[in-house]
Amino acid sequence: MGTTQPSFEIAAQTVSGFTGVWISDSTVWRHHEEVTEKIQEQLLAEEERTPCWPGELEQGANAWIVARKPIAEHASVSIDGLTVLIREEGYREVKMVAVSEAVLSPPQSEPPVSDEKQEEVFTAAGATNGDGPAKEHQGQKPGAASTDEIHGRQDGLKLKGHSYRAVLGEKETFRSALAGELTRRRVADAVKLTTVNDGAEWIWDLVQHLLPAERVEVLDWSHAVQNLAKASNAAWGEGSPEAKEWLAQRKAELWNGQLFEVRVALAELPRRRKERGKAIRQVQGYFVEHAKRLEYARFRAEGRPIGSGSVESGGKNVVAWRMKRGGQSWSRPAATRMLAALGEVHSGRWDEDCKRLAKAA
């Protein structure tokens, strides 16, 4: 209850309301600490023994780690970071992975699944509506959507069965947690593997060290578009008709797989001085560095996601909603425990974790 409610105080009020017996927030906190400490130890024990070097995850390392909703067909992996306020330290980064199963939705002629039975899904392009999960576009007539809505949307491709692992610490601290989560989901055994992320160097370094060689790397569509907008604004002025027209043309080209045309257009932008010129050069280099991750037409044809909305929404709805409320700060041990608990709850593994703890007792 301390994990699924906004605070320990509200959790105590909820329990008291259900049971008719008053319970203090300190009692809820104490029981929560005891259980989450054991769950955290259980996760760390698995992760400390998980190989963290290229290829090792494919060499039988999963034989002793219990499979948790293994993905047989198409696995999608996205990594990101956010910050939480740690007492006496300030804001510190939390690194997080979301592992999902990518599936094609049933033909439209089939009856829709009721809202009560529908598992939470994210559009594979990662679009979000406010702070919540992305909504499916239902009842959309052909031609009714705007160009901006079409570019970035992947009707029919959905991500489901999400699992999360979030860790407070630097890249090397997160490395073993990432390797452990990939192993729990048996990502190395999936027929198809796609990893969609933003351009952060630390993310792609971990991808290249821990994910199987057969992976397909995709740069998050929205981040690519943001960089194009950065270049257009630097060249023509933010909000100018020229900037808007240039960006619309580049987005269409990028969506349709015309990466060469995009790079030519970037190279032909008018020369600017100082910060504006620096911004244009940064985007030009960005599109060279990530060229193989920008083949969106091919990715869509292969049924691969092109957005990292699963981990971005996870950062908001798994971590931030509980740990970044107004006035909240955390001790480092409490933050570490809560991150482990939040990941297990939102991965649908909490009850199983508690059963495993009971057997081990």
Burial class (CB in 10 A: 0-12, 13-18, 19+), 187: buried
> What's the CA gap between 334 and 337, in Å, rounded?
5
pLDDT at 354: 83
More confident residue, 15 or 192: 192
pLDDT at 142: 37
More confident residue, 229 or 326: 229
Each residue's pLDDT tens digit, 131-163: 444 333 333 333 444 555 566 677 789 999 999
Domain ranges of the chain: 51-107+119-127+152-217+308-360, 221-300
pTM above 0.85, yes or no: no
Each residue's pLDDT tens digit, 279-320: 999 999 999 999 999 999 999 999 999 999 999 999 999 999
DSSP conformation letters of 222-241: HHHHHHHHHHHHHHH-TT-H
pLDDT at 161: 96
Within a 10 A sphere around the Cβ of 29, how many other Cβ atoms?
17
Task: Collapse the DSSP code of 142 into the 3-class scheme (helix H, G, I; strand E, B; otherwise coil) and give the result.
Answer: coil
Give 344's pLDDT tier (boundaries 50, 70, 90).
Answer: very high
